[in-house]
A and B are shown apart, each in its own frame.
Chain A
Amino acid sequence: GQQLNQSPQSMFIQEGEDVSMNCTSSSIFNTWLWYKQDPGEGPVLLIALYKAGELTSNGRLTAQFGTTRKDSFLNISASIPSDVGIYFCAGQRDTGNQFYFGTGTSLTVIP
């Protein structure tokens, strides 16, 4: 199946620092989603992107739909301990509603 690669695989940062992660694909997608998964829970949707170049914010989170339509980026500003978790990207092509998920970025915030 389609593989979305996320980078970095894991991050250890100090509270208050900004975080950047990305997701790349060999295929073009028309929708990008970013999810967060807390330990022992299912992924929860953070941000959805529908147009190339689109920049969307949700509180301290900002995500961008790459102009090539093969990548997307997520930034978290002024990280706090509750940002800890695994962040997944997901992409959807223009037919059908199957989303392909990335490999995940594990974030640890050190107080």
Chain B
Amino acid sequence: DAGVIQSPRHEVTEMGQEVTLRCKPISGHNSLFWYRQTMMRGLELLIYFNNNVPIDDSGMPEDRFSAKMPNASFSTLKIQPSEPRDSAVYFCASSPGQGTSATDTQYFGPGTRLTVL
């Protein structure tokens, strides 16, 4: 079975450019999560969706970040304009639950390593 798919795996861009990260969750999963991982701050939840609806975006750093989930099989995380401090590994994860179950195990994708020069 295919796990969570993320693309691209690596992205190098210049400051000020727009960056779009893509995620395909595991088929049948109802929740999707975007995380950012850095050495300094560890793994941080940015936003999560349940049934394609954003539930909690309090972790989104600022207005430069936006996320969409137009359907159950696709989500994007966009940074516009990008800055060097956005350099990190961005993970997408999905879970089968509806949002309140204690057994909502999250399955992570391989991540996108973003470098903003």
Contact = CB atoms under 8 A, between A and B. Distances in A.
A41 B59 contact: no
Interface of A: 1, 30-31, 33, 35, 40-45, 48, 50, 88, 92, 94-104
Contact of B43 (A45, A97, A101): A101
A33 B45 CA distance: 15
A98 B45 contact: yes
Interface of B: 4, 31, 35, 42-45, 48, 50, 55-56, 58-59, 91, 93, 95, 97, 99-111
A48 B103 contact: yes
Contact of B42 (A45, A95, A97, A102): A102
19 contacts: A1-B58, A40-B111, A41-B111, A42-B110, A45-B105, A48-B103, A92-B104, A94-B102, A95-B100, A97-B48, A97-B50, A97-B99, A97-B100, A98-B45, A98-B56, A99-B45, A102-B42, A103-B42, A104-B43
